Structure 1
Amino acid sequence: MPGTVLLLAASPVGKGCLVDAASVLPVLAAVAPSVLSGTETANVVELADPLDPQAVLTRLRAAATAPGPLTMFVTGQLQLDRRQRLPHLALARTTPATVRYTAFPWHWVTEELRLRPPGSTSVFVDLHADADTWTHLAARPLTAGPATALYGRVAPPPPRRTVAQPTYMRAVATLLRSGHRPDLLQLHEQALTRTSGEESTRPGVTELVLAPGQGPFWAGRPWPPAPGFTTVTAPPPAPGAPPSVPFPSPGAGPYGPSAADGSLPPTAPPPEPPVPVLPVEPPAVGPTVLAESQRPAPPRQMPVTLPGQAPRNGTSPSVDPHEEITAAVRDGRHGEAVALAGRREAEALSAFGPGSEQVLHWTEVRADLAMLAGDPERSCRTWLAVAAARLDAGQAPDTLEVESAVDHAHHQWGLVDDPARARELGSELARLRRSVPGRREGALDHVRQQLRQLQTQP
């Protein structure tokens, strides 16, 4: 089966540029597609300094829904939007004031990859962060979802009036140009070894290194860590050996939810194991789905019970209901999957009460199951119900969860074929859009325009 490779290099034009991201693309493009992907044949998609986040989303969505392995190589810089403080990949027209509208939200990557089969997706990143984002990442390291292998590094901003070079990604490309594709973790470690002695890494400067199974760790001089994050200094590496770096002490890594004051607990749990996902391709996306007003919602990770923990959804700790649901969907038993989710939702309602996160989680699962079964009307109705429940519970209209529910409902509404049902759902969506406009400008106008067109249809 052919693989898919997505090469993405992006950085702002002008004085806001921190890294010469596009300079690595010629080196990556010189690598044989089969070596980039690890398959006999591969389709390679290249995005050099894209302007529009929707254009990036279109290419990412196409790559994520393609069969076979997917390998992504992402080079660029991260910035936070001022409203929600979420990391974004800066694009050509991005400025600090326009991050929310001109940059590509990093959580869109997680969202688009979340339905891919575990073990089929690898992402290499070489990213630089501005000072604000760098501090943010000390407490909330970058991730790409539980089913995606993320390799690479995030570097702090270079000195003023200096544009950094993507040395890590260039080292990855140079190693692959030999025609040999080693184990990806070995490739990652070899690239780190090559860049450890380069002047562009500025000896003594911290980098956040990412690798599956290791968690994030700080390489070089320890950056002032977030509360609960400690490091252990390792001895200098032997000649020719991979660089020895400070690792987080066991149990003290920056994982899990923040405390009420924004700090992390001193004994945060380790990363959760890969969450069972539903390896079923979503319905084909039509042109209306890619309208400017629509975007994928922020990621939601299905809660699972870890060994030794009390169950979080009223189920036995020895059985993860998501595995049963995944198996049912994989076999085409959509009705059974919905019934399983409905039973779990009823159990959560009895245990935690209406409006609880446990209940809303299972409602969201039912919405996703309707989408996977090709029933956009039911999916839209369910997402609208989730959004209304969250607002009734006092959640702010601009929180990730509320925006996610409305955006998903908007997405599914665009796929409803029956004009009468579309008019009914559109009226409810318009009411929600007045209070939850979402990230993309013009979402409410898009709903109103579509409703006017539906009024002319029988």
Structure 2
Amino acid sequence: MPGTVLLLAASPLGRGRLVDAAGVLPVLAAVAPAVLSGTDTANVVELADPLEPQAVLTRLRAAAAAPGPLTVYVAGQLHLDRRQRLPHLALARTTPATVRYTALPWHWVREELRLRSAADTALVVDLHADAEAWRYVAERGLDCGANAAVYGRVAPGAGRRGAAEPAYMKAVATLLRSGYRPPLPQLHEQALARIADVGAGRDLLLSLPGGSRPPFAYAPARPVTLPPGTGAMVPAPVGPPLAGAQPVPAGAGQETRAAGPVPPPAAREPYATEPAPPGPGQAPGQDPHALISAAVRSGRHEDAEALAARYEERAVGARGAGSEEALHWAEVRADLAMFAGDAVRSCRAWLAVARTRLAAGQAVDAPAVEAAVDRAHHQWTRITDPARARELGAELAELRLRVPGRRQGALENVRRQLRQLQAAP
């Protein structure tokens, strides 16, 4: 089965640039797609200094929805938005004052990979961070979700020394140009060995085969060594570890370089749940998300919906409709409706999720609340039945008054389309 590769390199075009992220793309682009992916064949999508976060989100969703292994290479810089103090990947138009509207929220990356398996999903990142984002990552980690293996580094900004280069990603690309992609843990350690003197004692290293909070360690201050006969690179971390850290385990334009249609947007995925008693065709202890994903990809939408509904019912009975577990399954069902082509059901489900979160006391600008309203809005624009569109549009406009979201003019967009619907015969 062919793999999918997303190459994303982004940094502001002005004086706020911490790293020349796009400078690594020519080196990565020279690598054969199959080597970038680690599969026999692969589709590659390149995003060089993109302008709009929604455009990046669309490409990320398409990549996440594709069958087969997915590898996402990200080079860029992190900032915190002034309102929620959450990490964002800066894009070409991002300034300190416009992070919330012009940068890509990092939690969007986590959300879009939620219906994938860590066994075939990987992030390779080379990120630089301003002072605030650096403190955030050092204290809290960089949450990439439980369903992606993550390798790379986070480096502090170089200050007045000008834009840094993505040395780790360039090392990765140089290694891959040999025509062979070793297992990612080995590739990670080999890249670290090449830049051992660049970030010694200050970079945070990410090495995670799957988990919601990656362990960090400071970059080794002495060269990484290769034990004789092992073939595995072993880091030698020094300096004080971060609180709760574990050792690093051993071991704008866009271009598509592939044939074939862009896949549909990805559904959101797994909230960690306790397994319910197995249903038909489900082995004891088997992850229901894997079964749901397989059912969707084979077109068995009713089976996927039935399993998700069963888990939602169980979560509501055990923890209540406002619990995160129950809301997770409600969100999964909303996305399953989207995959089945039922925009009405999907829109209605997302509206219900947003109302439940607000009723539970979540803030109007909480990421989960904004995401629910945005997804309801997205599905509403795909409703072809005028009567249903008018009905749900009124509910959406009411919610948009409370949850304007990050896209300026979203409420006016709903009102304008509603006026057009009401004027239609």
Is TM-score (shorter-chain normalized) higher than 0.5?
Answer: yes
Structure 2 residue aligned with 1:188: 188
Find the counterpart in structure 1 of residue 249 from structure 2.
none
Question: 1:305 is matched with which residue?
Answer: 274
Give distance in 2, aligned partners of 1:390 and 1:112: 20
Q: CA deviation at 1:332?
A: 4.6
Gap change, CA 1:429 and 1:87, over 3 Å in 2: same
Deviation at 1:117, TM superposition (A): 4.9
- Identify the residue that residue 205 of structure 1 maps to in structure 2: 202
| Equivalent position of 1:127 in the other structure | 127
Q: Which position in structure 2 is the counterpart of 1:171?
A: 171
Indicate the residue corresponding to 1:261 in structure 2: none
**Which deviates further from its counterpart, 324-333 or 92-101?**
324-333
Could you say which residue in structure 1 is the equivalent of 2:28? 28
Q: Distance between the aligned counterparts of 1:34 and 1:239, measured in 2?
A: 26
- 1:319-355 deviation per Cα after TM superposition (whole angstroms, max 9, x unaligned): 7554565565566554444344444434433433443
Per-residue CA deviation, residues 274-319 of structure 1 (Å, 9 max, x unaligned), is xxxxxxx99846xxxxxxxxxx99x66412239xxx99xxxxx957
Residue segments in structure 2 that go unaligned for 5+ positions in a row: 228-232, 247-260, 278-283
How far apart, in 2, do the equivalents of 1:32 and 1:371 lie?
A: 34
Distance in 2, matches of 1:54 and 1:253, equals 33
- Structure 1 residues 128 and 189, CA gap change in structure 2 (3 angstroms): same
Alpha-carbon distance between aligned partners in 2 of 1:117 and 1:327, rounded to the nearest angstrom: 11
| Cα offset, 1:388, TM superposition | 1.4
TM-score under structure 2 length normalisation = 0.82
Q: Secondary structure at the match of 2:161?
A: coil
- Residue from 221, 235, 252 that aligns with 1:243: 235
Cα deviation 1:151-196 (Å, max 9, x = unaligned)? 1111112243332221111111111112222122111110011110
Q: Displacement of 1:399 after TM fit?
A: 1.2
Alignment check: 8 A CA contact 1:90 1:104 kept: yes
- After TM superposition, give the deviation of residue 242 of structure 1 in Å: 3.8
Structure 1 vs Structure 2 CA RMSD: 3.4
What SS class does the counterpart of residue 160 from structure 1 fall into? Answer: helix
Measured after TM superposition, the shift of residue 38 of structure 1 is 2.3
Does the CA-based 8 Å contact 2:117-2:148 persist in structure 1? no
- Secondary structure in 2 matching 1:8: strand
Structure 1 gap segments, 5+ residues each: 223-234, 255-280, 286-295, 312-316
Residue 331 of structure 2 corresponds to residue 364 of structure 1: yes
Equivalent residue pairs, number: 399
Question: Equivalents in 1 of 2:172, 2:334: separation in Å?
Answer: 40
- Matches of 1:80 and 1:436 in 2, distance apart? 20
1:440 counterpart residue number? 407
Contact 2:139 2:242 in 1 (8 A): no
Matched to 1:212, the amino acid is P
**Displacement of 1:61:** 3.0
SS in 1 for 2:157: coil
| Offset, 1:25 | 1.7
1:415 aligns with 2:382: yes
Q: Provide the residue aligned with 1:217 in structure 2.
A: 216
CA distance in 2: counterparts of 1:327 and 1:67, whole angstroms: 10
1:432 positional shift? 0.4
- Deviation (angstroms), 1:426: 0.5
One-letter amino acid matched to 1:124: V
Question: CA 1:283–1:452 in 2, change beyond 3 Å: closer, same or farther?
Answer: farther
Which residue matches 2:60?
60
Contact 1:193-1:242 within 8 A present in 2 as well: no
User: Aligned partner of 1:2: which letter?
Assistant: P
Q: 1:385 to 1:169 in 2, by over 3 A?
A: same
Match of 2:253 in 1: none
The corresponding residue for 1:425 is 392
Q: What's the offset of the Cα at 1:249?
A: 8.7
**Equivalent residue number for residue 290 of structure 1:** none
Q: Mark the CA change 1:375 to 1:191 in structure 2 (over 3 Å): closer, same or farther.
A: same
Aligned pair in 2 of structure 1 residues 366, 435: CA closer, same or farther (>3 Å)? same
Distance 1:67 1:337, change over 3 A: closer
Does the 8 A contact of 2:77 with 2:90 survive in 1? yes
Q: 1:135 to 1:407 in 2, by over 3 A?
A: same
Cα pair 2:217 2:241 within 8 Å, conserved: no
Deviation at 1:97, TM superposition (A): 0.7
CA 446–29 in structure 1, closer or farther in 2 if over 3 Å, else same: same
Please give the secondary structure, in 2, of the residue aligned with 1:77.
strand
CA distance in 2, matches of 1:43, 1:76: 22
Distance 1:324 1:219, change over 3 A: same
Take 2:239 and 2:339, find their aligned partners in 1: how far apart are those partners?
41
Whole-Å separation in 2 of the counterparts to 1:322 and 1:55: 27
Asked if 2 retains the 8 angstrom alpha-carbon contact of 1:217 and 1:247, the reply is no
Q: Which has the higher contact order (CA 8 A, sep 6+)?
A: 2
Task: Verify: 1:348 aligned to 2:315, yes or no.
Answer: yes
The amino acid of 1:217's aligned partner reads F
> What one-letter code is carried by the residue in structure 1 that aligns with 2:237?
V
2:76–2:90 CA contact under 8 A, matched in 1: yes
Instruction: Provide, for residues 365-405 of structure 1, a one-character-per-residue CA deviation record: whole Å limited to 9, x for no partner.
Output: 33233223221111111111121122222222111222122
One-letter amino acid of the counterpart of residue 395, structure 2: E
**Using the alignment, how far apart are the partners of 1:249 and 1:17 within structure 2?**
28
Alignment of 1:17-416 (within 5 A): 17-197=17-197, 200-201=198-199, 203-212=200-209, 215-220=214-219, 242-245=234-237, 252-253=244-245, 284=264, 301-305=270-274, 322=289, 325-326=292-293, 329=296, 332-416=299-383
C-alpha deviation, 1:427, in angstroms: 0.6
Q: 2-side partners of 1:327 and 1:25: how far apart?
A: 33
CA change 1:181–1:303 in 2 (3 A) is closer
Contact 1:121 1:147 survives alignment (8 Å): yes
| Contact 1:283–1:372 (Cα < 8 Å) also in 2 | no
Cα pair distance change 1:103/1:326, threshold 3 Å: closer
Can you list the C-alpha shifts for 1:203-249, whole angstroms capped at 9, x where unaligned?
43242333325942222489xxxxxxxxxxxx986587643115999
The Cα shift of 1:137 comes to 0.8
Counterpart CA distance in 1 for 2:91 and 2:368 is: 25
